[in-house]
Amino acid sequence: MNNHTDKQQLNADVAFHLDSVTESGILKYRSDALPTWCPGCGYYGITHGLTQALNELQIENRNLVLISGIGCAGRYPFFVNGYGFHTVHGRGVPVACGVKMANPELTVLAVGGDGDGFGIGGGHLPHGIRRNVDITYIVFDNSIYGLTKGQTSPTTPIGQVSKTTPYGNPDMPLRPVVMGLAYGASFLGLGYAGKPDELKGLFKQAILHRGFSFVVITTPCLTFDHVNITYDRMRDIWEPMPKDHDPGNFESAMALAIDPEYYYGVLYQSNRPSWDDVQADIAVKAKG
Ligand code: SF4
Ligand code: MG
């Protein structure tokens, strides 16, 4: 094929793709503001998975609330056609819990990065999880501070060079899923931004779960990380949860949480009462 034919084919492919995206209905969850993330950022894959999930669950825009903290993920509410709140560092979880407590009819999502959620917001997460308010908290974990230009974060591996650790990170990274299990998460999901179709299913389960859904998505920051979470390195090392894994089995979930392999899917789910259910019981008791 000559260059002219190549270009015609490319244009036809793009037009077909745009048509299929438009027909799918997912664009109704996108605002008029175009995302300002770097080209190729994993957040686009997460967005594609999430909009597909919202569309398949037929969540109405007027019932959708997306709350963020600070960081590259903090910009997310601007790009979503729903209600939103860009809060301050690490405060996405408590604000999202408050919104849901005030109006249980809403579908409330909180998003944030690893720095926002595990560094600055590290004190809020345990209490959000243990209270089990019915929200979905999605952490975009790229193991780096992206918005502030590439510093070591709470999940950066030992030895990784960054602007704040030019001789290699000396600190033990925390393990979000081990922490989530220890705090009593009633839903714990794992995903990878490079697999948006798998993310769709994971997000649907997380949103439908009644209680605090903690979803950790590994996502490449291709601007500031060229060695750890890269598309090339991640491509072949992700695998589905083992077929014999029972998400209702806490010990099995913990064994996988400390396993150095990368798995995606539902790691753990229990049906302990959500905050809303507990409050309903208390209201009955209080009335005698
Ligand atoms: Fe994405 Fe990294 Fe760019 Fe932030 S700095 S938008 S995380 S690629
Ligand atoms: Mg980060």
Lowest mean pLDDT among 66-70, 93-97, 139-143, 234-238: 234-238
Helix (H, G, I), strand (E, B) or coil at 157: coil
Residue 5 has pLDDT above 90, yes or no: no
Average pLDDT estimate for 107-112: 98
Read off the pLDDT of residues 134-160 as tens digits, 9 standing for 90 and up. 999 999 999 999 999 999 999 999 999
Contact 181, 250 (CB under 8 A): yes
- Cα separation, 151 vs 191, whole angstroms: 23
154-208 pLDDT, tens per residue? Answer: 999 999 999 999 999 999 999 999 999 999 999 999 999 999 999 999 999 999 9
Enter the DSSP assignment of 78. Answer: G
Report whether pLDDT(3) > 80. no
* 17-31, 83-97, 244-258: the lowest-pLDDT one: 17-31
Strands (E), 126-196: 136-141, 187-192
* Whether the predicted pLDDT of 1 surpasses 60: no
Neighbours of 5 (CB within 10 A): 9
The tens digit of pLDDT for each residue in 23-60 reads: 999 999 999 999 999 999 999 999 999 999 999 999 99
pLDDT at 7 over 90: no
For residues 13-28, average pLDDT: 86
Q: What is the pTM of this model?
A: 0.94
Helix (H, G, I), strand (E, B) or coil at 186: coil
Residue 239's Cα: distance from chain center in Å? 18
d(Cα 119, Cα 90) in Å, to the nearest integer? 8
- Atom 3 (ligand 1) nearest CA: 38
Ligand 1 environment, Cβ below 6 A: 37-38, 41, 43, 72, 142, 146-147, 221-224
The residues, any chain, with a CB within 8 Å of residue 182's CB and separated by 6 or more, are none
Of 34 and 9, which is predicted with more confidence? 34
Mean pLDDT of 267-276: 96
Rounded Cα distance between 71 and 154, Å, is 14
Q: Distance from the CA of 8 to the center of ligand 2, in angstroms?
A: 39
**Nearest-angstrom CA–CA distance, 206 and 208:** 6
User: Encoding tokens for residue 109?
Assistant: 């999502």
Beta bridge partners of 217: 140, 191
Question: Could you tell which of 34, 36, 43 is best to mutate to test the pocket of ligand 1, judged by most ligand atoms within 8 Å of the CB?
Answer: 43
Q: Between the CA atoms of 31, 34, 40 and 43, what dihedral angle is there, to the nearest 10 degrees?
A: -30
